[in-house]
Structure 1
Amino acid sequence: MKKIILILPFFLLLHSVFGQQINYTSGNNGWDPDVLGNHRFIINVSTQALVKNKNVSHVIIPWRRKDTNPEAKALVVIDAKTNKKITNVTLQNSNRELGELLFEPVSGAGNYYVYYLLYRNEGSANYPKGVYLKSVETASADWLKQVSSSKTYAEAQMTEYQSVDDFNSFYPMDFIATVKEKATFLSNEASSGFVVIPEDRMFSIRMKHDLPMKWMNKPIPSSFTGEANKGEYYAYQLGVYALQNLKNVKVIFSKLTAVSGETIPVSRIACINTDGTTYDDKPFKKIVDVIKDDVQPLWCGIDVPQDVKAGDYIGQATVTADGQKSRTIQINLKITDKLAADGGISEPWKQTRLKWLNSSLAQENTVIAPYIPLEVDKNTISLLGRKMELNEDGFPKQIQTFFTPEMTSIGTKANDLLIEPAHFKFLDSSGKECQKWKISGVKFLKKDAGTVAWESSSTSDAVQMDVNAALEFDGFLSYTVKITALEDVVFSDINFHLPMQPTAAKYLMGLGQKGGNRPENLQWKWDVANKNQDGAWIGNVNAGLQFSLRDEKYSRPLNTNFYLQKPLLLPTSWGNDNKGGINVSQKGKAVLVNAYSGSRGMKKGEVLYYNFTLLITPFHAIDTDFQWETRFYHSYNAIDSIKATGATVANIHHATPINPYINYPFIEHVKMKTFIDEAHSKGLKVKIYNTVRELSNKAYETFAMRSLGHEIYSPGKGGGFSWLQEHIGDDYLAAWFVPEIKDAAIVNSGMSRWHNYYVEGMNWLTKEVGIDGIYLDDVAFDRITMKRIKRVLTQNGHPGIIDLHSANQYNKSDGFNNSANLYMEHFPYLNRLWFGEYFDYEKSNPDFFLTEVSGIPYGLMGEMLQDGGNPWRGMIYGMTNRMPWSDNADPRPIWKVWDDFGMKGTEMIGYWSENCPVKTSNDKVLATVYKKNGTALIAIASWADTDVKVKLNIDWKKLGIDPAKATITAPAITNFQPSQTFFVTDEVAVTKGKGWLLIVKE
């Protein structure tokens, strides 16, 4: 890949203060920034100057700093000859424009280094807090007396600015203009509301509160000139400097016209700050306001047609603001004869990929395998393994699944989820239902293969309830329920009932409950400030529902340590000033989910939205063969080394040579492709780490996206690694940091056009680099983006394997959510779970394993992470740990048992199934059977409090083995179990927290 120089080394600039020439260069990592900071000036003391004073040298450093209070911050002077610190240093005068420095030139004539912005990292290695050192007087009293008594000093010259490397440089866009320069620059603009300074795409406008030095010493330009290839997306900037508070800033473009009459139409020109396409394929319009004395970059793009004629094109970009005189910039664009076949995508440092922000790629809701097209028969909608019948009011009358208890196939027996239809209830002051409805009936609005949509309206004397809903092919059901008051009315409650069959409500996860057996009586109240909870999953292994309560203002909160920075919005309807809540309890024959909102009045014409979503689980049958055959190696290593372990898929994390920067896997794509090509040639697949949650500061588009306000980057208190503080400045959330490569991430804001970029990026990586899928490490996007990702990853026969890791979200920072509940909307498109860090496999009960870790109730399988997991308990659910992530466990001995036994083609019959042919005499020692062709592998694991002995209660008929001929053996498995043979009638000794793998055959 072409090396990108982010500054211009050894560029000479005539400095306006002294007229001296200053070099702006890279220090090529010649010093330790954690000791001396990222920046220094080189000061030269001449022999001639020392004639005047050999003990005190004087220099004025025009450092042009954008940080505040520089006089309070430490600096260090180092003798270039000895590389030793000089203690006799004093700063006589300091402001943001310059620093007046006196120091002792201890080595006489030569160079001295002045380091500034010195910091120390506090906090953890991966979440550092760069704290800038305060100024401390180090000079001796005797030397200070010499300073005060001297009439002349050895005048030194500041000759060079250096940053520790190119990436840390302030040149050219982070050096501020002086007050005098700014006044001269704006001298003719006293009556103007704003000025516009066009800027090249290679020099991102970075500072919000200062004008850059680069713009000074020349008139305010009225034109901009650029050069683009045919087919290229050409980006440039219009820097708006506000002389007054500005409202509704936007850009009006003209077409670009050549002398020949050839044109580039306005439809191919846009400003990403004000216009575009949202992540869910809606028109994006944003009002841009600019505070007085602030700078707002407007990033504009010209999508040059491939078939345009070469030549010089001229047009206009007119910037307007409400109540202000507009400013017009003439745009001169030279189109070369060269064709950029990929739109310039292969040169992202030119900001060509900003086009991706407005992409609609893969938005069509086409059916994704293994799902099947939806079918509608009267009011019944059928989908893969499930069926839903609608009531006349538009709500579910019945929901059924057809998955077998083992979850390995779809059967013919219906599993009813509801005892009676789901419904709303409006209660009067006495608690009685007070509305008699006139119902319009269901009207279908769409009957596509991927989506069926309908509406229904119910009207009473007091209120009207309009229902708009849609079911998608994966089992996602969304409801918009609009309640309109037709007269002034008071309710003691408006609630929604899900009356569920007890057999379909065995387990519950959410609403402050860790996954496991459903409690007899759950009472929950809203607490959005502290808890990321708005619903739950309730169900059994082969039939369940996840529900989530929302209103029309729902906004996805932040997750993974950042929930408290952007929590849920309390729904006006369901929350009702914290009067609302959810009760789950047995009511007669039903397990009733009662979502109530409490007493309220509504004025005539007032509207409330009682929106909610449902997910019908499981999503599909379990693909057990994928589990046995697909073995992830989760580390970067030589291909031959990975293959030798028996792994079949390499997961390449970030902070590795071919994928160094978190969630921005584009910079080393050539190395990545070379690695993938070799892996493919040797029969391995390769997946890469890439998600949306936080983003590397190495992203080429960092400052363009920063110009979008809080659309892509979350607001926050700033801080973190020094680069972020020195270049981003303020108003962001610092995230994961990799010390070895100085990769500092910034938290994404949530749902934004960055998801469009993400989809396009995954499409490009699939087609151009050859990735076989992605490893997701928590995610901050919704199911719309997940579907798009799955489509581009599986295009043209690509495998599109996706596995998801989550650290346990049930903690204060994450809002006490359950990882499986949080990410369930993504489960239809995953191939495996890896749950995960901070999951306690030793203290957790089997039902927690089943519902929160294994993935089985949703049609998935998983792996364990924390401390290597518990291999005996893991095998109850078909799980191992992942190689070579844990030093405490190696899955290869178990993989060998799988291979020797021949796990492919087995039928997994878990302890949760009524059909499991093996149980033990102790209900805390569980057994799962993997059965095939007259043989079976029995996994036994104990949750008993002590070592126990158990007898195996075997239904030989179900097992398909003649007990008279049966042998039971335990193969030797390293770090798991010794070799042993058992008789059918033997007791099996089971160590606390452990178990066995037994092979039964005739």
Structure 2
Amino acid sequence: MLAGLTFSFFGAAMAQQVKYTAGNNSWDADSLGNHRAVVNFNGNAGTARVVIPWRRRDEHPEQKRIIIQDAQTKKKIDNVLPLTINREQGDILFEAASGKGTYYIYYLPYKNEGRSNYPKGVYLTPENTAGNSWAKTAVIPPKPNATLRELEAIDTFNSFYPMEVIATAAEEKQLLLKHPGAGYLVFPEDRAFPIRMTKDLPQRWIQQGPSQAFSGQADKGEYYAFQLGIYALKALKNVTITFNDLKTADGKTIPAAQLNCINTNGTTYDAKPFTAKVEVPAETVQAIWCGIDVPASAAPGVYKGVATIHPDGMPAMPIRLSLTVTGKTAVNSGFNEPWKQTRLKWLNSTMAQENTVIAPYTPLEIKDSVISLLGRKMGINKDGFPAQIQTFFTPEMTSLSSEAKNIFTEPVHFHFIAAADGKDLKWKSNGWQLITKEAGKISWKATNTTTGLQMDVQASLEFDGSVDYIVKVAALEDVALKDITLHLPFEKGAAKYMMGLNQKGGLRPEKIDWKWDVQHKNQDGAWLGDVNAGLQFTLRDQHYVRPLNTNFYLQKPLLLPASWGNGDKGGITIGEKGKAILANCYSGERTLHKGDTLYFNFHLIITPFHPINTDFQWSTRFYHKYNNLDSIKATGATVVNIHHGNDINPWINYPFIEWKKMKDYIDVAHSKGLKVKIYNTVRELSNHAWETFPLRSLGHEVYSPGKGGGFSWLQEHVDSDYIAAWFVPEFKDAAIINSGMNRWHNYYVEGMNWLVQNVGIDGIYLDDVAFDRVTMKRIKRVLTQNGHPGIIDLHSANQYNKSDGFINSAMLYMEHFPYLNRLWFGEYFDYENNNPDFFLTEVSGIPFGLMGEMLQDGGNPWRGMVYGMTNRMPWSDNADPRPIWKVWDDFGMQGTRMIGYWVDSNPVKTNNPLVPATIYKKDGAVLVSLASWAKEDTTIQLSIDWKALGIDPAKAVITAPDIRNFQQGQVFSKDAKIPVTKNKGLLLVITNR
């Protein structure tokens, strides 16, 4: 707490003690701001003058309003005249109408504009409220006659003390005079005081002075973090840190390998060595965060060593380190006390990176040139490219088949067309060679040559069906080419549907002619397929970086692949050619000069991933809100999704502060037979994260660059160069956008593991995803370890819009589908005006082995049931899934066989293709779901294969059970004309009498 803490401010002609306190939210910040000066006036009613040495970090304080209140009456004082306002102090005149007493001076008032969840804090400009007569007649006291009692923040979280209290210009000048000729100064700083400012020195450092020594205390086994604050008097280039061993007087050692600097070195999210170039502009501060990973076996004692700062072209500076290791052993390396910055170690974690096979997938097997994986096979051609891909899923998608379905009509291949004669260059290959053979991944390579060119191919196939190709084309001499193309020749039966390349999900158009437009469109490939066989392909080069998504694509779009894009010459056409549906990925005319290298990389995902688990769909019912557990259980729900913005998970993507409350809730839920999942992802991060400022010290590695703004806390403490994200007004939780693929994902994996082990979460709810499949695999591993259920469901708002770069949500997230248990697609999905093919491909998840739920406006329950979907409790006021759940329970859906309308052999059909039927079959009974896409009310007749149903037509009864808010109960004869209302449908039960 800040109450009672004091330190000295030294002005040009005065010195006074100023106390910083926290106000316990005792005023309305949204109208008065987060900061005030508490001033005492001991005179009679009249003019008061006070000098406030506030030492503000904000720029241009003279452009911000001053509001003064009488502390007793809370009445605003209009007669106010700022005499001098600058960052160091404010000299203010005001009318103390009540005479002797206390007055509040608010100096950063703001108002919020814009959406409540994306506020724009606008600081109020100065206003002239003083009356003319007062302004003309007020006598300015020759010196202050009111005194500053304290500077008060609305709460401790908003306080500037001590690391955002700036040094004065005079103090900085005196500091430099004491260190003439220095290129930089170092201020070692304790972990308890994260360095926050880069443009100003904190007054605390003026008091302490620069130093070449640091001391601290840690327990055995603790990760001990500390800072080296570098103040660059001249621009510093390529700053590196080296460490030597820490030793006790009697020779006990903590090896130098146990010390690290997160700013300069580490491990990337995909387990590669990481080196960052640290450069410090002149007259700025750079926080260098270091850590000592104290061995659990370390003997107690005082360990001494040196950390040396090395800027290019300047003298190195040794910093003497002294660490006292206690006899106590830290619990869990100190990770349970994150305010000590112990979890910075997680940034370099390699947890769950081993590519072990994740259930329900099976180990890869290779025989000759064919690799087998769950439900699929891929053959490798002599040149290293796919000879064929096959799937073995039944059209129902509930089981595997012994019959193969081919995806290609011929092997995948490149064409290099010579500019001189328009002929296709002939390539020579000596065959491919195996690089690695593991249960989870098989990789191979091949080298192909033609006149003047060499093509090096490296490829891999993983257990989930992800195929990665790195295709390096090097010019051995100058070569002029009319075109370079990749041909993906699809079987027509494996290209019925399509999404991507400006196409919403649905039946594949006859012709696609697409051009690159990365500045506006997050598009680099497509998915073509049928329900039980398909392939996503995406085109990339060696510089691919995952763009931002979900409202932020335009701020960090795709990079145009130099190879595929070729300026504006590249593109993709898709259409019928002979027996194939040919995806022709072309790059256009170019000349390769000797020594030039291009990467024609591409990525394939073979779908489906696994059979549909329909029993999971019927038995696992999500309740998407923090609520009383008895009330939740009474609804029939089985899994509670805890969003952020509530008492047990208040902070977005940082569920570590109120974790004890969360654990208590989960323990009770488990005792009642309920599972609990939490909202936790990495797209944005709460400003309440303990590591906010260490992460800011990493430049743009973790946080995206941006124009700043947003909620007042961000403007006042993060200052600038960030993208303001989601905001929860109830908790004043302001998030910052993550930059994409970075080491925070290592922290995320470790954090998820910690939550499983210490809190007992049963899975996670993902609200859009800002990481790739590498992180998703790691997350699934830690969530499912030791028999934990590890349930993951993904929600996405419809990303097919300008802000998101016109990408289909299923296209964007397909790489994650192998590890999901359910989809929730989602906000802005139109369940009324899209056709069944759109539902099937973009919403249901069925072509990928998943099932889903609906969200927007409660969904369409009749259409949803054709795909086995309901909406989710209690998210929508417009729909309640419990009546459908009751039908599931009354009918006995567990163990039924789902046969969708898309299955040619479905034994129940209608005579109207706009009113399809999906059935759920069990012995002696079938539940038939009908949904209408007809433009008007209509009637249909059923065509039933009674033998396939196993029901005697002579004894059959067709009943429409009475379902609240869905349909009225009635009975139909076998040949009846059944009325179906427009945009609605029916559920029918067919049984023997």
Does the TM-score normalized on the shorter chain lie above 0.5?
yes
- Equivalents in 1 of 2:872, 2:444: separation in Å? 45
Mapping of 1:226-305 within 5 angstroms? 226-305=216-295
Unpaired runs of 5+ residues, structure 2, are none
- Equivalents in 2 of 1:456, 1:947: separation in Å? 60
Aligned to 1:746: 736
Cα 1:150–1:636 change in 2 (3 A) is closer
> Aligned pair 1:877/2:902, yes or no?
no
**Residue of structure 2 aligned with 1:98, choices 89, 109, 114:** 89
Q: Is the 8 A contact 1:57 1:153 kept in 2?
A: no
> Aligned pair 1:211/2:211, yes or no?
no
Aligned to 1:606: 596
Aligned to 2:648: 658
- Equivalents in 2 of 1:760, 1:661: separation in Å? 18
Aligned to 1:15: 9
- Equivalents in 2 of 1:579, 1:401: separation in Å? 35
| SS of structure 1 residue aligned to 2:752 | helix
Aligned to 1:551: 541
> Aligned pair 1:931/2:921, yes or no?
yes
Mapping of 1:471-870 within 5 angstroms? 471-870=461-860
Deviations along 1:781-814, one digit per CA (max 9) or x if unpaired, are 0000000000000000000000000000000000
Q: Is the 8 A contact 2:765 2:794 kept in 1?
A: yes
Aligned to 1:309: 299
| SS of structure 1 residue aligned to 2:331 | coil
Q: Is the 8 A contact 2:749 2:779 kept in 1?
A: yes
**Residue of structure 1 aligned with 2:73, choices 77, 82, 87:** 82
- Equivalents in 2 of 1:752, 1:218: separation in Å? 35
Deviations along 1:528-587, one digit per CA (max 9) or x if unpaired, are 000000011100000000001000000000000000000000000000002100000001
Aligned to 2:884: 894
| SS of structure 1 residue aligned to 2:445 | strand
**Residue of structure 1 aligned with 2:30, choices 24, 27, 34:** 34
Aligned to 1:120: 111
Mapping of 1:149-168 within 5 angstroms? 150=140, 152=142, 155-168=145-158
Aligned to 2:129: 138
Aligned to 1:24: 20
- Equivalents in 1 of 2:707, 2:835: separation in Å? 40
Aligned to 1:455: 445
Mapping of 1:919-958 within 5 angstroms? 919-958=909-948
Cα 1:552–1:413 change in 2 (3 A) is same
- Equivalents in 1 of 2:863, 2:420: separation in Å? 52
- Equivalents in 1 of 2:86, 2:659: separation in Å? 44
> Aligned pair 1:63/2:57, yes or no?
no
Cα 1:139–1:899 change in 2 (3 A) is same
What's the TM-score, normalizing by structure 1? 0.98
Deviations along 1:587-635, one digit per CA (max 9) or x if unpaired, are 1110000000011111011000000100000000000000001000100
Q: Is the 8 A contact 2:379 2:388 kept in 1?
A: yes
| SS of structure 1 residue aligned to 2:312 | coil
**Paired AA for residue 673 in structure 2:** G
Cα 1:692–1:219 change in 2 (3 A) is closer
| SS of structure 1 residue aligned to 2:391 | strand
**Residue of structure 2 aligned with 1:332, choices 322, 327, 332:** 322
- Equivalents in 1 of 2:191, 2:410: separation in Å? 62
Deviations along 1:340-392, one digit per CA (max 9) or x if unpaired, are 03100111001010000000000000000000000000110000000011110
- Equivalents in 1 of 2:725, 2:208: separation in Å? 40
- Equivalents in 2 of 1:615, 1:478: separation in Å? 9
**Paired AA for residue 37 in structure 1:** G
**Paired AA for residue 16 in structure 1:** F
- Equivalents in 1 of 2:143, 2:117: separation in Å? 46
Aligned length, in residue pairs: 990
Aligned to 1:997: 987
> Aligned pair 1:221/2:211, yes or no?
yes
| SS of structure 2 residue aligned to 1:794 | helix
Question: In the TM superposition, what is the alpha-carbon distance from 1:434 to its structure 2 partner?
Answer: 3.0
| SS of structure 1 residue aligned to 2:689 | coil
- Equivalents in 2 of 1:436, 1:482: separation in Å? 17
Q: Is the 8 A contact 1:431 1:492 kept in 2?
A: no
Q: Is the 8 A contact 2:187 2:209 kept in 1?
A: no
Q: Is the 8 A contact 2:113 2:120 kept in 1?
A: yes
Q: Is the 8 A contact 2:420 2:480 kept in 1?
A: no
| SS of structure 2 residue aligned to 1:680 | helix
Unpaired runs of 5+ residues, structure 1, are none
Q: Is the 8 A contact 2:49 2:140 kept in 1?
A: no
- Equivalents in 2 of 1:862, 1:185: separation in Å? 64
Deviations along 1:806-863, one digit per CA (max 9) or x if unpaired, are 0000000000000000000000000000000000000010000000000000000000
> Aligned pair 1:200/2:190, yes or no?
yes
Cα 1:857–1:409 change in 2 (3 A) is same
- Equivalents in 2 of 1:218, 1:863: separation in Å? 59
- Equivalents in 1 of 2:500, 2:421: separation in Å? 28
| SS of structure 2 residue aligned to 1:68 | coil
**Paired AA for residue 10 in structure 1:** G
- Equivalents in 2 of 1:312, 1:428: separation in Å? 72
Deviations along 1:29-50, one digit per CA (max 9) or x if unpaired, are 0000001000001111123xx5
- Equivalents in 2 of 1:519, 1:877: separation in Å? 23
- Equivalents in 1 of 2:140, 2:851: separation in Å? 80
Q: Is the 8 A contact 2:400 2:611 kept in 1?
A: yes
**Paired AA for residue 120 in structure 2:** K
- Equivalents in 1 of 2:84, 2:144: separation in Å? 17
Q: Is the 8 A contact 1:185 1:217 kept in 2?
A: no
| SS of structure 2 residue aligned to 1:612 | strand
**Paired AA for residue 724 in structure 2:** A
| SS of structure 1 residue aligned to 2:756 | helix
Q: Is the 8 A contact 1:272 1:299 kept in 2?
A: yes
**Paired AA for residue 43 in structure 1:** V
Q: Is the 8 A contact 1:81 1:107 kept in 2?
A: no
Question: In the TM superposition, what is the alpha-carbon distance from 1:109 to its structure 2 partner?
Answer: 1.3
Question: In the TM superposition, what is the alpha-carbon distance from 1:468 to its structure 2 partner?
Answer: 0.3
Deviations along 1:303-360, one digit per CA (max 9) or x if unpaired, are 0111111111111111110011122221111111111031001110010100000000
Question: In the TM superposition, what is the alpha-carbon distance from 1:153 to its structure 2 partner?
Answer: 5.8
Q: Is the 8 A contact 1:185 1:220 kept in 2?
A: no
Deviations along 1:187-215, one digit per CA (max 9) or x if unpaired, are 23231211110001010100011101111
- Equivalents in 2 of 1:872, 1:943: separation in Å? 10
Question: In the TM superposition, what is the alpha-carbon distance from 1:14 to its structure 2 partner?
Answer: 2.5
- Equivalents in 2 of 1:445, 1:14: separation in Å? 66
Question: In the TM superposition, what is the alpha-carbon distance from 1:964 to its structure 2 partner?
Answer: 1.2
- Equivalents in 1 of 2:229, 2:762: separation in Å? 41
- Equivalents in 2 of 1:338, 1:894: separation in Å? 57
**Paired AA for residue 44 in structure 1:** N
- Equivalents in 2 of 1:9, 1:311: separation in Å? 35
Cα 1:154–1:287 change in 2 (3 A) is closer
Q: Indicate the larger mover: 174-183 or 184-193.
A: 184-193
| SS of structure 2 residue aligned to 1:672 | helix
Aligned to 1:986: 976
Q: Indicate the larger mover: 323-332 or 422-431.
A: 422-431
| SS of structure 1 residue aligned to 2:735 | strand
**RMSD (CA atoms):** 1.0
